[in-house]
Amino acid sequence: MDSIPSVTRQYVNRQVGFAATVAEKLKASGMTQRDLADRLGKKESYISRVLSGDANPTLKTISEFEVALGEDVITFNLQKNRSQAIPVTKYNEIFRVDLTGGDRSAFISPGEMTFFPSVSHTFDSTGKDWPSAA
């Protein structure tokens, strides 16, 4: 067991934990894999792969699972950050969220989130703000 890198161990624990939690929530709600697949617009075979730990769902896909199940599957301990305001700046329809003291930012537009380390801004000729790594 010591020969397995700690990152691999953590990843496998998270993957198995996610699969087990989804399976528990399906059972508790009376939903079937087919029901969940229909709600997600995915194939039942994909749901089966997730539940067996053979799929690597993205954070967006995990969020889709949570919405379809009506509750969180993964929780984050954000207690230390809850007392701090997180700066958010709106640029047209894109929002910039400063994370971890400003050394990381997330740019959120409808349907996606992108992280940029140490972000600075440049403007093109139309005045649009484009992030660039500093």
Q: Which of 2-16, 64-78, 80-94, 115-129 has the lowest mean pLDDT?
A: 115-129
Residue 10 lies inside a defined structural domain of this protein: yes
Q: Which of 69, 96, 114 represents a domain boundary (last residue)?
A: 69
Q: Provide mean pLDDT across the span 83-111.
A: 54
Residue 44 lies inside a defined structural domain of this protein: yes
Residue-level pLDDT at 133:
46
Domain total in the chain: 2
Instruction: Provide the CATH number for the domain around residue 64.
Output: 1.10.260.40
Contact by Cβ (8 Å): 129, 116: no
Residue 87: is its pLDDT beyond 80? no
Residue 75 lies inside a defined structural domain of this protein: no
pLDDT digits (tens, 9 = 90+) for 9-66: 888 888 888 899 999 999 999 999 999 999 999 999 999 999 888 888 888 999 999 9
11 and 51 belong to one structural domain = yes
Instruction: Say whether pTM exceeds 0.85.
Output: no
89 beta partners = 96
CA distance 26 to 39: 12
56 and 22 belong to one structural domain = yes
- The residue with tokens 């140490």 is 118
Contact by Cβ (8 Å): 86, 96: no
Q: How far apart, in Å, are the Cα atoms of 56 and each of 64, 65, 125?
A: 14, 13, 40
- Structural domain span for residue 61: 6-69
